[in-house]
């Protein structure tokens, strides 16, 4: 099952849980072979379209404070059978920064480019453990 859009129940729970705490978002991305049409990225590969989204996002990001900590090429799943193209770990200063970003009209204007680029994705909210698990 392909998943591109946020789960609204999970987003609401995120907004209510420690909104002033930092949050680390794990992004798993699988690009379309060809981007969906009608979003200004017609004829591009999914990867190329996601790069367009990334450049537009970089211009907005100072307002939201997202700090990419790590980005790399996904090679293979050792446990499980999902396959991904790219993995990105982004730190936001607070959960509120992330939630506000998704609601921001300027972000919403570029979000369709992300959706046009991706065949599938996962976005996992995480927080750093304090001490050993």
CATH class of segment(s) 8-126: alpha beta
CA distances from 29 to 71, 74, 75, 92, 97 (A): 11, 9, 12, 19, 22
Q: Which two tokens stand for residue 11?
A: 């987003």
Cβ–Cβ < 8 Å for 55, 130: no
Domain locations along the chain: 8-126
Q: Give tens-digit pLDDT for 108-120.
A: 999 999 999 999 9
> pTM of the entire structure?
0.89
Quick: pLDDT tens for 40-63: 999 999 999 999 999 999 999 899
């Amino acid at each position: 099952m392909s998943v591109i859009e946020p789960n609204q129940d999970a987003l609401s729970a995120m907004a209510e849980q420690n909104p002033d705490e930092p949050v680390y978002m794990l992004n798993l991305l699988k690009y379309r072979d060809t981007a969906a049409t009608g979003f200004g990225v017609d004829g591009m590969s999914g990867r190329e379209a996601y790069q367009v989204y990334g450049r537009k996002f970089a211009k907005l990001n100072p307002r939201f404070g997202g700090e990419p900590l790590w980005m790399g090429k996904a090679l293979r799943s050792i446990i499980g059978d999902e396959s991904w193209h790219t993995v990105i770990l982004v730190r936001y200063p607070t959960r509120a920064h992330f939630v506000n970003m998704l609601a921001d009209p300027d972000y919403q204007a570029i979000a369709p480019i992300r959706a046009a680029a991706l065949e599938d994705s996962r976005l996992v909210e995480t927080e750093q453990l304090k001490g050993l698990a």
